[in-house]
Structure 1
């Protein structure tokens, strides 16, 4: 018998699997994508319907995005931020998802420099002062007191998630949100205990993970969404990300890592790949902004060719270095790709755009060996976050708001 015959068979992606204290019904997770249907910063019937659709369609767990841990941590003011007032609505949402047989996770984070300070009417926090290309205002350098407060509010938000019936929380350490911006040499020029060496730059993210784990123990699963690289010169890169991932594994604070990439500040399409919807983005903004996006949007929304499982080459390096469960993200649109991820040692896969086009895709994949998504990677779903996130090729879901949600007014 040769070595290949002795290797264990990869797990069935559609069989139950463990994630920390959870048993999930399969290994496919609906990744966090901002839903754009919370105009008052609280749960709506539209938000519940948004998550019920993929839950009924077969995903093991759907992720609510984005649950900010503080008012200034929202990307804009119409997002949910975790406070007692939000708990009753969140409980309605978790109950609805559970009735469909799926688990539900809350993505917790602080937008930091990605926040639109004009919309929030609060300064955007960052490692230091610079002009945010999103809010077009100067960020405010986070003080040690701000850092301690934000760490505490992550723990408080996690406790509220437990009270709201969530099965898991996902800590947002990607896309140059606050924790990610501290990891980046490009954005973090501090000379205190939170700047300079990687150990210092990682202190904030590691502190958040420890505070959350200490708060919730093993009552729910704790995952983290970690940038493998920022996709910008001078930003966070693979070698440093691997070291942070090892620290998270050694600390025992997370049950799995979802591996991501890109910068919402400087290079968002590095995560999405495929067509850059500059014209569609311009159309949802007022006329003066619209013209600017049409003229200069191509420099911000750079197009990258789409490839199936496009983050897999980088993610393989994490799989080789870690024993921690890993969630593969990025271009998962075929059953064959899900099976490939299992064969390569990834415990879970995460999907987003494909489930906007077909919320029942997971059920179809389970039933059809050759199943693949109808998503064409046009990325025209991205601008719909301002009026109810959906695939424009199939039209907005019933009840979605018809007016922009992020005018910044």
Structure 2
């Protein structure tokens, strides 16, 4: 092992990508995580055989841990009706999923959150919650401004959902604090202009995110690992900045409420391609909708699905700032597709890497990279997998 400077200037050993690693109380077989990617395989908000098979493929393909995404903590917190939400009725299926994944030697995490303004109120049959209320283009209805009672209910729901996840056999939970879902929307000065204790100064805007993490830690203790997916920036004018996110990350570290942070970016509500990079699949998205909406998406879709050029490790520059300031374990995501990228992340001081799109096309990619470090991913970053969430997420280029 070599050593590199860490936060505070102390030298830090560079870990091996495929050596066992600790994540809180959890021991993982390597440092590669299957990132949370909405599967679209729970039409009745319950686990299906298709969902289990979806996670078995990368688990058998060599990842250390696969992440089930996304599981809402309340029914109105779903992005759309056909999505998992955590309740006792979901436990039998979730237990079957965790047992199946454990049979491959991999661990399994459950991503928990509340979609807030990203929720489709029309699909859910319930108003979407947001910091301010107002018209929501996702569900073509008005959001409801979350009351203090709503927010306390959401915090309690996260704790209950996390406890159920532990009961179901999950090794970790990931708290969704990014992409302008509810907690992230409250962090955003663009979306949160409240004047109560949840608005204004950053500490107030961070109140919900910090309370969620604290409640989950209190519910779980050290039984399972707790991670959080945090926006480094919203990628929108007037949104959360890197400097603000660094402060929030510092507060999470100080509280000891999470074991690691996954550093993400972008807004599912305002600028989703800032996270994904590569081609913007406007035509493919339009084809999934009825004719009137289809025409509108074709004409105006480029304003929402902006195109950002793809490059390997495209979030690394911003993530470095967090690595310099924090001692908390960090997960690098965004353009990790080969051994060179994985090793670079370790050299730069990151503890884990997370992959998503590349594993859709090649679920066994990690095994193949381990056998032959020169292996290159076949993912072309066309993002045509994105519109498949409505029929079961998959790579449309698979032979």
Q: TM-score, normalised by structure 2?
A: 0.97
Structure 2, unaligned stretches of length 5 or more? 5-9
Q: How far is 1:7 from its partner?
A: 6.3
SS in 2 for 1:89: helix
Aligned residue among 225, 228, 235 for 1:231: 235
Task: Work out which of the residue numbers 17, 21, 24 in structure 1 matches 2:21.
Answer: 17
Matches of 1:270 and 1:369 in 2, distance apart?
29
Show the counterpart of 1:76: 80
| Alignment partner of 1:64 is 2:65 | no
Alpha-carbon distance between aligned partners in 1 of 2:283 and 2:292, rounded to the nearest angstrom: 14
Give the aligned partner of residue 289 of structure 2.
Answer: 285
* C-alpha separation in 1, matches of 2:41 and 2:15: 36
Counterpart residue number, 1:398: none
**Mapping for residues 19-168 of structure 1, pairs under 5 Å:** 19-168=23-172
The CA distance in 2 between the partners of 1:277 and 1:144, in whole Å, is 38
Aligned to 2:358: 354
Whole-angstrom distance in 2 between the partners of 1:78 and 1:23: 33
Q: Indicate the SS of the match to 1:229.
A: coil
Q: Match of 2:274?
A: 270
Cα pair 1:42 1:86 within 8 Å, conserved = yes
CA distance in 1, matches of 2:359, 2:160: 31
1:141 to partner: Cα distance: 0.5
Matched, 1:214 2:218: yes
SS at match of 2:154: helix
Q: 2:395 aligns with which of 356, 380, 391?
A: 391
- Residue 26 of structure 1 aligns to a residue whose secondary structure is coil
- Aligned to 2:142, the other structure's residue is in SS state coil
Deviation at 1:370? 1.1
Instruction: Note the C-alpha offset of 1:357.
Output: 0.6
Secondary structure at 1:171's aligned position in 2?
strand
2:308 is the counterpart of 1:304: yes
Runs of 5+ unmatched residues, structure 1: 396-409
Query: Is residue 171 of structure 1 aligned with residue 201 of structure 2?
Result: no
State the shift of 1:136 in Å. 1.4
Query: After the TM superposition, which of the residue ranges 310-319 and 362-371 deviates more from structure 2?
Result: 362-371
- Between the aligned partners of 2:375 and 2:239, the Cα distance in structure 1 is 37
Deviations along 1:156-179, one digit per CA (max 9) or x if unpaired, are 000000111000000000000000
Moved over 6 A (4+): none
User: What is the CA-CA distance between 1:278 and the residue it aligns to?
Assistant: 0.3
Q: Secondary structure at the match of 2:163?
A: helix
Match of residue 379 from structure 1: 383
Mean Cα displacement is larger for which, 172-181 or 365-374?
365-374
- Partners in 2 of 1:131 and 1:330 — Cα distance? 31
Residues in 1 aligned to 2:209 and 2:13: alpha-carbon distance in whole angstroms: 36
Deviation (angstroms), 1:146: 0.3
Cα distance in 2 for partners of 1:132, 1:332 equals 33
Q: Does structure 2 retain, via aligned residues, the 8 Å contact 1:281–1:383?
A: yes
**Hey, what's the Cα distance between the residues in 1 that align with 2:162 and 2:103?**
22
1:335 CA displacement: 0.6
Aligned: 1:336 with 2:340: yes
Query: What is the aligned partner in structure 1 of residue 7 from structure 2?
Result: none
Q: Do 1:132 and 1:265's aligned partners in 2 also have CA atoms closer than 8 Å? A: no
Shift of 1:9: 5.2
Aligned to 1:364: 368
